[in-house]
Amino acid sequence: MLSSSAPVFSGKHLVSVSDLTADSIQRVIDIAIQLKSSPRPTLLQNKVIASCFFEASTRTRLSFETAVQRLGGSLIGFADAGNTSMGKKGETLSDSIQMISRYADAIIMRHPQEGAARLASEISSVPVINGGDGANQHPTQTLLDLFTIYEARGSLEGVKVAFVGDLKYGRTVHSLAQALALFGAKYYFVAPDALAMPDYIQEELLEAGVQFECVDNLEDVIPLVDILYMTRVQKERFDPTEYMHIASKYVLTAAMLKNAPEHLKVLHPLPRVDEIDVSVDKTPHAFYFQQAENGVYARQALLALTLCPNLDKQLLTSREGGQA
Amino acid sequence: MSIHKLQVEAIQQGTVIDHIPAGNGLKIINRLQLLNSDVRLTVGLNLPSGEMGCKDLIKVDQWRFTQDEAAELALFAPNATINVINDYKVVDKFRMSQPEELNGLFDCPNHNCITHNEPVDTKFYVRNSGADMKLRCHYCERSFSSALFG
Ligand SMILES: [Zn+2]
């Protein structure tokens, strides 16, 4: 079945969640599931991947670079452009990408400015994968979130999600809400007024026919949802007393989960500060470390689909082999 | 002869932008002066107009607009009409239509947008949003009210 559909990722860039469709998301999930159960340590043999972090982001970089290594690819690149001649000599991003795309088979990039990955994709002769461009997009975070929700529930259709904490500045939350809209999801937004889901996202969700509600009390929604997506409320956004008051309302403890449905999973893009009490870690609902692990599989799946045009066919064969 | 024609001089050659929603004429003047600081303009503001109640009208001397030039201004005056004049006669007449894209015309209002630091033209997608028009940056993906570009 997979081999009959047109390639979606092969040779293409992934810059924005808006580049994804329900089908392409499902394809990444399918491959991620397969790579998680049966590793393919030679799939990217002889491929050179450039890992270009024009801004430091250790977690994202480690996850991507693990994904490349797990598939047998080799890496070139830098962890922080500020410490390289790339940053110091004042070369434009356009020129850097021109050059790097002549060395590597694909470019993973993170950049502090919005739109950097889109620009790079227009210059590069090889696929560009956006690992975060300023406050704009971080599509592989969304893919790993989607994969994790799929794994927790067996499906994305009609999933009920509560988004908790900073819904205003959290691009992770915006992208995930936009992507899950493709699957008829239902949302509860639990956030202080100052950090509410922005109007333009709410308008988009309405246009997409998504049902959502803004809810005051975190405990009220726990019995209603499949996924509790927690985010960090940043101290810098409030004065200290206000922060204490606000943050305490959006902290999850194990005791609050006593009325949770058995299958409810708690996700968090990490790092957490105190919004998830460590008591939650021991409950069967904690799923955020699996989520981080899944980042490696989701990124492997994306890299594999992007760089191996025959992957669909190979996987189909191996599936048939497995069934025989 | 209608009243407004008495209020502004006829031009020998150039463009008459008519049926501009009253109040938007000044934005167009700003834009035209940015494009050409020597441009000679004759302006009528808040002129009576049967269909619109009130309208603005601008005569642009010696500059015959192309469809593309007109499309750019459509951001400020959707549905205005363009009369291209040669030898005191209207030689071409068309309605401004809202462009789908605007390329290289405005800086992105997002100061952290990559377009400010790189040798690349800005690009915005135009979208209606109620009475307002929104421009979405192709690069940073942010949407801005067209009022920001006035
Ligand atoms: Zn921009």
A206-239: buried (b, 16+ CB within 10 Å) or exposed (e) per residue?
eeeebebeebeebeebbebbbbbbbbbbeeeebe
End residue of a domain, out of B95, B111, B134: B95
What confidence score (pLDDT) does residue A225 get?
98
Q: How far is Cα A170 from Cα A181, in angstroms, rounded to an integer?
A: 17
My answer on whether B91 and B120 are in the same domain is: no
What confidence score (pLDDT) does residue A321 get?
40
Beta strand spans in chain A (E): 48-53, 74-78, 106-111, 128-133, 160-164, 186-190, 211-215, 227-230, 265-267
Give the CATH number of the domain where residue B83 resides. Answer: 3.30.70.140
What confidence score (pLDDT) does residue A299 get?
98
What confidence score (pLDDT) does residue A319 get?
41
- The answer to whether residue A324 scores a pLDDT higher than 70 is no
With 0-12 / 13-18 / 19 or more C-beta atoms within 10 angstroms meaning exposed / middle / buried, residue A73 is: buried
What confidence score (pLDDT) does residue B8 get?
52
Catalytic residue among A42, A59, A102, A317: A59
In this complex, do B140 and A93 lie within 8 Å of one another by their Cβ atoms?
A: no
Q: Pick the closest to residue B44 from B29, B32, B65, B64 (CA basis).
A: B29
Q: Which residues contact A87 (CB under 8 A, 6 or more apart)?
A: A54, A80, A81
pLDDT band at A244 (very low <50, low <70, confident <90, very high): confident
Domain range for B127 is 101-149
In this complex, do B140 and A134 lie within 8 Å of one another by their Cβ atoms?
A: yes
Q: For residue B11, give how far its alpha carbon lies from the nearest alpha carbon of chain A (Å).
A: 45
What residues of chain A lie within 8 A of the CB of B114, using their CB? 93, 111, 113-116, 118-119, 133
Across A13-27, average pLDDT: 95
My answer on whether B18 and B61 are in the same domain is: yes
> What is the tally of helices (H) and strands (E) in chain A?
12, 9
Task: Tell whether B73 is covered by a domain.
Answer: yes
pLDDT band at A317 (very low <50, low <70, confident <90, very high): very low
- The answer to whether residue B4 scores a pLDDT higher than 60 is no
The number of folded domains in chain B is 2
Across A41-59, average pLDDT: 96
pLDDT band at B96 (very low <50, low <70, confident <90, very high): confident
Across A69-81, average pLDDT: 95
What residues of chain B lie within 8 A of the CB of A116, using their CB? 114
Q: Pick the closest to residue A135 from A65, A234, A202 (CA basis).
A: A234
CA of A114 to the centre of ligand 1 (A): 7
Q: Pick the closest to residue A135 from B45, B140, B77 (CA basis).
A: B140
Radius of gyration of chain B (CA): 16
Catalytic residue among A47, A61, A138, A174: A138
My answer on whether B80 and B143 are in the same domain is: no
What residues of chain B lie within 8 A of the CB of A137, using their CB? 141
Give the CATH number of the domain where residue B107 resides. Answer: 2.30.30.20
CA of B148 to the centre of ligand 1 (A): 13
- The answer to whether residue B2 scores a pLDDT higher than 60 is no
B140 touches chain A (CB under 8 A): yes
Instruction: Dump pLDDT digits (tens) for B23-68.
Output: 889 988 988 888 888 989 999 999 998 878 899 999 999 988 887 7
In a 13 Å sphere around the CA of A215, the CA atoms on its Cβ side amount to 19
- The answer to whether residue B6 scores a pLDDT higher than 60 is no
pLDDT band at A90 (very low <50, low <70, confident <90, very high): confident
ipTM for the predicted complex: 0.88
Smallest CA–CA distance from A97 into chain B, residue: B118
Across A34-39, average pLDDT: 96
Q: Provide the percentage of residues in chain B whose pLDDT is more than 90.
A: 42
- The answer to whether residue A259 scores a pLDDT higher than 80 is yes
Task: Tell whether B122 is covered by a domain.
Answer: yes
What confidence score (pLDDT) does residue A224 get?
97
What confidence score (pLDDT) does residue B9 get?
67
When CB atoms are compared, the residue of A92, A93, A114 closest to B112 is A114
My answer on whether B49 and B85 are in the same domain is: yes
What confidence score (pLDDT) does residue B105 get?
81
Q: How far is Cα B134 from Cα A255, in angstroms, rounded to an integer?
A: 46
